[in-house]
Chains A and B, each alone.
Chain A
């Protein structure tokens, strides 16, 4: 990891924090508590037992918004390098990115009209 330089250090911090948190969690297991009975494992929804398992093919009603997000996420990928060279490139960078963003924002306007951002 060190070979990666500063990003490697960031990665090392990431992994170390995860391991530390897992260690804290496992450390609680040294206490001995009674084994869990079946009723003690019932998920909570106010006291009644569940009818079915909670895992289901969930109707994520914001799925069209998620697609719009994909388009904007790609735009973000272009904007990282663009932001670095912006001052050097000057007005032409501004115009180029402006055209790209305008098209995307028109997409947002269309999505808004189609009620993509509301679902209830």
Chain B
């Protein structure tokens, strides 16, 4: 197979996985919401509703504001989706079943996470609307606070692998998953993963106190794309968590890719449930806790898990 064909297959596979993941997140989130609400489950409705509301957004008019930064507005959701895609492309389904496995895979992934801040900022800046702009700057504070603990939590998984390649990180978990080797790692990763995809308690840039924050002016397809890109980022964060902490394809009885999907679904369940069970965090609190608790804890995690390897 030529290299171009390989790239084409990778693009198609990641695209299909993301679309399936976004639909799954939409259904799963409604399912958890219905359980929390105590409403009897109507499966046909749960399955059809995301499609219906997407179709509605697709036929609605896309509106602008009176003096928007139109190119940035168009780019923001696309950039966010692109970052989610590149993050997911690093996640291996099996030892030799991965869209791409650069030797510096972890660095590529962290670069994608760091760039989310640009996408959210552009999205809040571009409509020239006060609440959107406030959401953008709020995410600035949020992003600058979560990046260090997020990367440190994942960096600890590099130590046993002695490699920045994600496949090697998973490979090194054959005998012992990182969730056991580094017990603080996964909780830290999940807390900060909620912040990255600004979901539930950390939905500060798009929060209800800002009437939708950076997406307050979105309508029609631009609203649909933004929602889809957020769900896609959540899928990527969960999938990477499954690879880095839950041993990726390793597991008894079932085939490797099945294990990856199951573990991703489990982590998605935790991330989505947090959105229905935990109240909104104040931005200052998040900044303070990130710097004073999460970063020292993540560093401790790196050094303690490192000491056990020596």
Contacts and interface: CB of A to CB of B under 8 A. Distances in A.
Interface in A73-116: 73, 76, 79-80, 83-88, 90-91, 94, 97-98, 101, 105, 108, 111-112
A6 B103 contact: yes
A5 B102 contact: yes
Instruction: Give the interface centre of A6, A25, A80, A85 by most chain B CB atoms within 10 Å.
Output: A6
B220 interface: yes
Contacts of A43: 65-66, 127-130, 132, 216-217
Contact of A65 (B133, B141, B162): B141
A42 B148 contact: no
A94 B292 contact: no
B184 interface: no
Contact of A9 (B99, B144, B151): B99
Given A43-B66, A94-B307, A83 B7 contact: no
B227 to A, nearest CB: 12
B295 A72 contact: yes
B74 to A, nearest CB: 6
Interface string B52-64: 0000001101111
B159 interface: yes
A22 B137 contact: no
Interface SS, A side: helix
B265 interface: no
A94 B163 contact: no
Interface SS, B side: helix
A87 to B, nearest CB: 5
Contact of A98 (B79, B216, B303): B303
A29 B10 CA distance: 29
Contact of A22 (B78, B151, B287): B78
Given A53-B67, A120-B284, A13 B225 contact: no
Given A25-B74, A97-B303, 19 more contacts: A7-B104, A9-B6, A9-B89, A10-B89, A10-B90, A12-B10, A15-B82, A21-B81, A40-B63, A41-B66, A44-B131, A44-B217, A45-B130, A65-B145, A65-B291, A76-B148, A90-B310, A101-B299, A118-B284
7 residue pairs, one from A and one from B, having the closest CB atoms: A43-B129, A17-B85, A21-B78, A9-B100, A6-B102, A18-B82, A83-B158
Interface of B: 3-4, 6-7, 10-11, 14-15, 18, 58-59, 61-67, 74-75, 77-79, 81-86, 89-90, 99-108, 110, 112, 125, 127-133, 137, 140-141, 144-145, 147-148, 151-152, 155-156, 158-160, 162-164, 211, 216-217, 220-222, 225, 229, 284, 287-288, 291-292, 295-296, 299, 302-303, 306-307, 309-310
8 contacts: A14-B83, A21-B78, A24-B221, A44-B129, A45-B211, A54-B133, A73-B148, A76-B152
Interface of A: 1-2, 5-22, 24-25, 27-29, 31, 33, 36, 38, 40-46, 50, 53-56, 58, 60, 62, 65-66, 68-69, 72-73, 76, 79-80, 83-88, 90-91, 94, 97-98, 101, 105, 108, 111-112, 117-120
